[in-house]
A and B are shown apart, each in its own frame.
Chain A
Amino acid sequence: MTNKNTPDDKNKRDFLQVSTYALGAVGAASFVWPLINQMNPAADTLALASTEVDLEQLEEGQAITVTWRGKPVFIRHRTKEEIASAKDQLLDGLRDPQTDEERVQNEKYIVLVGVCTHLGCVPLGQKSGDVKGEYGGWFCPCHGSHYDHSGRIRKGPAPTNLEIPQYSFLSDTLIKIG
């Protein structure tokens, strides 16, 4: 066989080489993806049931903590003063501006995921003896984040307000979280 290195041959070889690399890369990536994706939440974890809570017994000024998806959810029956102070707050001063109306379905009950938006500690403020922080709502002892009566971040390192879970009122005092 004669060994002619015509420009044509060279182009062919380049093409073969590039397409081999490309195919190899696609093959490797499609094998790596299952290895990575197995770490994402499994089907049964995603299917975690919702939680129903009866608020009949929850008096004004009291709070309860329930578990949802392995996380604490805070439900607080707010007093008149707490509601008023949450509503009166001007948006200017807020790091993550939201009105109280946007954060509640029934202004008597504030429902929050009880996980500090900084690094995930559970803030204090659910029990009557707890430190509640400078804004009277919740206080995260881990690195000192202060939340107000609406669960909005007011001071400290947390970037956003306490998260509101998906929930709905099945009746006046029965709520379903999730």
Chain B
Amino acid sequence: MSKPKFKNPVVNWIDYRLPIFTFMNHELNEYPTPKNLNYFWNFGSLAGITLVIMIVTGIVLSMNYTAHIDYAFDSVERIMRDVNHGWLLRYIHMNGASFFFIVVYIHIFRGLYYGSYKAPREILWILGVLILLLMMATAFMGYVLPWGQMSFWGATVITNLFSAIPLVGESIVTWLWGGFSVDNPTLNRFFSLHFVLPFVIVGVVILHLVALHRFGSNNPIGIDVKGKQDTIPFHPYYTIKDLFGLSVFATIFAAAVFFFPNFMGHPDNYIPANPMVTPAHIVPEWYFLPFYAILRAIPDKLGGVLFMFGAIMVLFVLPWLDRSSVRSSQFRPLYKLFFWFLVIDCIALGYLGAMPAEGIYVVLSRLATAYYFFHFLIILPLLPKIESTRPLPVSISTPIITASSNASTVMAMREKK
């Protein structure tokens, strides 16, 4: 046995046989991290924590939930009224889904702004988009479980999307339903999949982290780490920063759970599902609205479905659409401008998705949809040809040292150590 690494002999004994402590020490403690990360780098760990919260509350909810069309709605009401702390667990799970998407959307736009999808992090990015897709599937199926009006009609509309596929569309929809409409077999399989998909997400998250730790985090100025002077160990610097971010996040999350638990939901979902009556105005959960707007903007059924899925597919190939060698927007004045246009466009799509599909809203949805694809398919490939990027700093440490003498003293001290 080589020299003992850990003070505790039991830890050493285990680590020799199962190097789990070496692994944790390497990946979570000494793990060298760029020293200039800002608060946008908190959202990855927040997403991971939210996933754990969803799994824990989900498992206890399913101990009280009944996946049958005659009992599902009542079993959720029973969770709300009779099960000890049931209301709390359900509200955490219900709002947790919304917060999960808030966190992940910010995480994604962070990646867009700082060019984190560029080489050598393409696979890391692609795994992230895959996680987004899995989250969407999970959240969609979870929303069906309480078997309210929105559950039922959301399930009907979304599964019917597949009927747009030529030739086999109808058979696929029947297969998804296990019948001729959304019914008990559908609810059963959705529960089963809703239970298991989050664990698949955990698996992909692990791959995401393996890919991340291969080259480490990107950083706000988007240039590679040049050596030890550019990094600090993950612990305690980023553990404490992540914890601080978590406490801010938890405060906001708790405020929603305790004071506005139904703010992000839809009142119609407290009406039991009725296959004979569609609510006058059906809308998906807020986190699907931009995609829903794209679906409705295209006046053709198959076209709408293709564009909606295309909106995510462009993200998969993003590393090859944007060929600029400069990562961070800080040094790409034009890209930065278009980034903010894209943010506005996505918010506009979200707003339009919630509005009825008539009059001016249809026109605006079409414009916003066109701009979304224009950004990814035309602007990004063209930009490197016309954009003059600002000069990149020599290293992460250089701008900091010259920026303030105070920082340079800190640096000097660290280097001596």
**Residues on A facing B (Cβ under 8 Å):** 36, 39-42, 45, 48, 65, 67, 69-72, 115, 118-122, 140-144, 157-159
Contact A143 B296 (CB under 8 A): yes
Minimal Cβ-Cβ distance residue in A for B153: A121
- Docked pose: A87 CA to B319 CA in angstroms: 57
8 contacts between A and B (CB under 8 A): A42-B178, A45-B185, A67-B275, A72-B275, A72-B276, A121-B156, A122-B277, A157-B304
Minimal beta-carbon separation of A128 from chain B (angstroms): 16
Decide yes or no whether B239 CB sits under 8 A from chain A.
no
Decide yes or no whether B212 CB sits under 8 A from chain A.
no
Contact B179 A141 (CB under 8 A): no
Contact B185 A42 (CB under 8 A): yes
Contact A71 B275 (CB under 8 A): yes
Minimal Cβ-Cβ distance residue in A for B299: A157
Decide yes or no whether B259 CB sits under 8 A from chain A.
no
Q: Which residues of chain B (270-301) have a CB below 8 Å from chain A?
A: 275-278, 280-282, 296, 299-301
Decide yes or no whether B176 CB sits under 8 A from chain A.
yes
Minimal beta-carbon separation of A147 from chain B (angstroms): 14
- Docked pose: A40 CA to B186 CA in angstroms: 10
Given contacts A122-B276, A144-B357, contact A40 B157 (CB under 8 A): no
Decide yes or no whether B180 CB sits under 8 A from chain A.
yes
Contact B278 A157 (CB under 8 A): no
Interface core residue of A41, A48, A120 (most chain B CB under 10 Å)? A120
Interface core residue of A39, A45, A118, A143 (most chain B CB under 10 Å)? A143
Minimal beta-carbon separation of A29 from chain B (angstroms): 17
- Tell me which residues across on chain A come within 8 A of B276, comparing CB atoms: 65, 67, 72, 122
Contact A70 B178 (CB under 8 A): no
- Docked pose: A158 CA to B299 CA in angstroms: 9
Q: Which residues of chain B (141-174) have a CB below 8 Å from chain A?
A: 153, 156-157, 159-161, 163, 174
Given contacts A70-B183, A157-B299, contact A121 B304 (CB under 8 A): no
Minimal Cβ-Cβ distance residue in A for B189: A39
- Docked pose: A141 CA to B281 CA in angstroms: 7
Minimal beta-carbon separation of A163 from chain B (angstroms): 11
In the complex, the number of residue pairs spanning A and B with C-beta atoms less than 8 Å apart equals 82
- Docked pose: A48 CA to B183 CA in angstroms: 13
Minimal Cβ-Cβ distance residue in B for A118: B301
- Docked pose: A158 CA to B160 CA in angstroms: 12
- Tell me which residues across on chain B come within 8 A of A72, comparing CB atoms: 275-276
- Docked pose: A94 CA to B175 CA in angstroms: 31
- Docked pose: A123 CA to B296 CA in angstroms: 17
Contact B278 A141 (CB under 8 A): yes
Given contacts A142-B282, A144-B357, A158-B301, contact A41 B277 (CB under 8 A): no
Of the candidates B157, B282, B296, B301, which one forms a contact with A159 in the assembled complex, judged by CB atoms under 8 Å apart? B301
- Tell me which residues across on chain A come within 8 A of B183, comparing CB atoms: 45, 70
Contact A45 B178 (CB under 8 A): yes
Q: Which residues of chain B (173-206) have a CB below 8 Å from chain A?
A: 174-181, 183, 185, 189
Minimal Cβ-Cβ distance residue in B for A144: B357
Minimal beta-carbon separation of B124 from chain A (angstroms): 31
- Docked pose: A42 CA to B282 CA in angstroms: 30
Contact B180 A142 (CB under 8 A): no
- Tell me which residues across on chain B come within 8 A of A40, comparing CB atoms: 174-175, 178
Minimal Cβ-Cβ distance residue in B for A122: B278
- Docked pose: A41 CA to B161 CA in angstroms: 19
Contact B180 A143 (CB under 8 A): no
Contact A142 B157 (CB under 8 A): yes
Of the candidates B179, B296, B299, which one forms a contact with A45 in the assembled complex, judged by CB atoms under 8 Å apart? B179
Of the candidates B174, B179, B357, which one forms a contact with A143 in the assembled complex, judged by CB atoms under 8 Å apart? B357
Given contacts A70-B180, A70-B181, A157-B299, contact A39 B157 (CB under 8 A): no
Of the candidates A41, A120, A158, which one forms a contact with B157 in the assembled complex, judged by CB atoms under 8 Å apart? A120
In addition to A45-B178, A141-B280, 7 A-B residue pairs with Cβ atoms within 8 Å of each other are A41-B179, A42-B178, A70-B180, A70-B181, A141-B281, A142-B282, A159-B301
Minimal Cβ-Cβ distance residue in B for A65: B276
Contact A69 B181 (CB under 8 A): yes
- Tell me which residues across on chain A come within 8 A of B156, comparing CB atoms: 119-121
- Docked pose: A141 CA to B276 CA in angstroms: 14
- Tell me which residues across on chain B come within 8 A of A65, comparing CB atoms: 276
